[in-house]
Amino acid sequence: MLGSFLQRRTVTSSKFLLQPDTKVAAILPKIVPMSSSSSSEDSDSEVETQQPPSKKVKTSSLSSTPLDLPPSATDQKTNKKQPLIVLLDQASLETVRNRRGIYELLNCDDHRDLCKKKLKKNPNDYRPDILHQELLALLDSPINKAGLLKVYISTKNKVLIEVNPSIRIPRTFKRFAGLMVQLLHKMKIKAGSDSTTLLKVIKNPFSQHLPAGTRCYGIECGGMLYSPIALPKTIVPLEPSDDIPPTCLIVGAMSTDYVTIEDHPYIEKMISISSYPLSGATALSRVMGGIEHHWGIV
C-alpha cells in the first residue's frame, strides 16, 4: 500500500508540474509573434527618426512673360530731349531780422511798418507770394512731370537760383518763406533722404546757363498777342528733340514792374497770352497748357 501511495503521489506531482509547462507552451506562441511585431515596429520607428524630415518646397506661379527692364543709360542718352526753360525774373526774395533775432522773408503783410518807417520803401514791392504761386503752377504741371521743364529764379538783388524739377514746393506760404530764408543763407537746399540738391544759388549771368542757339521770349501784357493754341506753333518745335535748340520764356515774378528787353538783350520778341491783364501764375498755366497740347502731353 505504501508503494501504491508513493506511485500515485509521483503521478499527481508530475501532472502538477506539467500543467504550468503546457500553459506556458500554449501562451508562448502567442507572445513571441507579438514581441517580434513590436520589435519590428520599434526598428521601423528608429529608422524613421534617423531620417531628416522632408521639407515642403513652396511653388509659386511664375509668369511665362519676362519683366520689363528699365532702359539703359545709353538709351536714356539717345532719347534725351531738350526741356522748355522758364526764368522767373525780378522775384522779391529778401530776409529781415525781427525783434527776436530770427530771420524772416520780407513781405508786405508781416513787415508793412518796417518797409515804410525803416526801409523807406513801398510795401507792395515785396510780394514773394507771387513767386510761390508761379512755382506751384509750373512744378505741378504735366510738362514738368514729363521731365520737359527747367526753372530758374532771378531776384531783384541779382541772385540766380536753379530749381530741381523733382522738388515739391511747400503748399503754404509760411513753409515756403522758411525754405527761401534757408536757401538765401546756406546757398543750397538738399533732400532729406539723399544728397540730391533741390535748390541752389548759381553764378550770374543767366545767359551762360543757356544752351547754344536757345531762342528767348519775354511774356508781358504789351507784347504781340497769341492764343494759347497758336503760341506753341510759333515758339516751340513740333516735338521736343535733342537736335533742335530749346526755347526759353522769361516771366516776371513782381507786382509793379514788367520784363524788358533792356534787362535781357537776348530776348527775340515780347509776347502776350491774353488781351486782359493776368497774374503770373494764370499766364504760365495758359502757356504750359498750350505747349502740353502741342506736344501731346496729357
Phi, psi of 2 (to 5 degrees): -65, -40
pLDDT at site 181: 96
pLDDT at site 188: 94
Task: Give 59-64 contacts, CB < 8 A, sequence gap 24+.
Answer: none
Contacts of residue 264, Cβ cutoff 8 Å, sequence gap at least 6: 89, 206, 216, 218, 250
Spatial distance between the Cα atoms of 124 and 103, rounded to a whole number of angstroms = 20
The per-residue pLDDT string of the chain (298 residues; one tens digit each, 9 = 90 and over) reads 444 544 555 444 444 444 444 444 444 444 444 444 444 444 444 434 444 444 444 433 333 333 333 343 333 333 468 899 999 999 999 999 888 889 999 999 888 888 888 888 888 889 999 999 999 999 999 999 999 999 999 999 999 999 999 999 999 999 999 999 999 999 999 988 778 999 999 999 999 999 999 999 999 988 999 999 999 999 998 888 888 899 999 999 998 888 999 999 999 999 999 999 999 999 999 999 999 999 999 8
Cα torsion 68, 72, 74, 76 to 10°: value is 70
pTM: 0.72
